[in-house]
Amino acid sequence: MASDGREAFYHGTDTDGRAIRRPMSPHLDIYRFRLSMALSIGNRMAGVASSLGAGLAVAWLAALAQGPRAFARAQRVATHPLGRLIFLGWGVATLYHFIASIRHLIWDSGAR
């Protein structure tokens, strides 16, 4: 008879010595979706967006190094309303990722 994956539990003790049962492989049908999960997912997405924005900043600096014509073209793209929106999103993503990373460091230290 095949066993249900939700029955694969780790039996151990917590830091106070109480018996605990934790899933061996946590999954969404075992855990309820919580705010901390959403914040963690958001932090990862903001990290990806921040990295992509850094690539745009490098492209802007490369245009600066290539000369006045390339820089003028890059400035037109950056000052276009869509370009401004992209740079605003990059700034928000970078700020959120920075703040959320500090929160993760605090949580990892054991403080809640």
78 and 104 together in one domain: yes
Domain that holds residue 42: 32-108
39 and 70 together in one domain: yes
26 and 69 together in one domain: no
pLDDT digits (tens, 9 = 90+) for 74-97: 999 999 999 999 999 999 999 999
36 and 50 together in one domain: yes
3 and 36 together in one domain: no
Percent of the chain with pLDDT over 90: 52
Separation CA 12–CA 34 (nearest Å): 24
- pTM here is 0.66
40 and 27 together in one domain: no
Q: With 60 as the cut, is the pLDDT of residue 1 above it?
A: no
Separation CA 87–CA 43 (nearest Å): 18
Give the E-state strand segments of the chain in sequence order: 9-13, 19-23
Separation CA 9–CA 62 (nearest Å): 53
44 and 99 together in one domain: yes
Contact 42, 100 (CB under 8 A): yes
Domain count, the chain: 2
Summarize the confidence of residues 40-59 as an average pLDDT.
93
Q: Is 14 helix (H, G, I), strand (E, B) or coil?
A: coil
Per-residue pLDDT band at 20 (split at 50, 70, 90)? confident
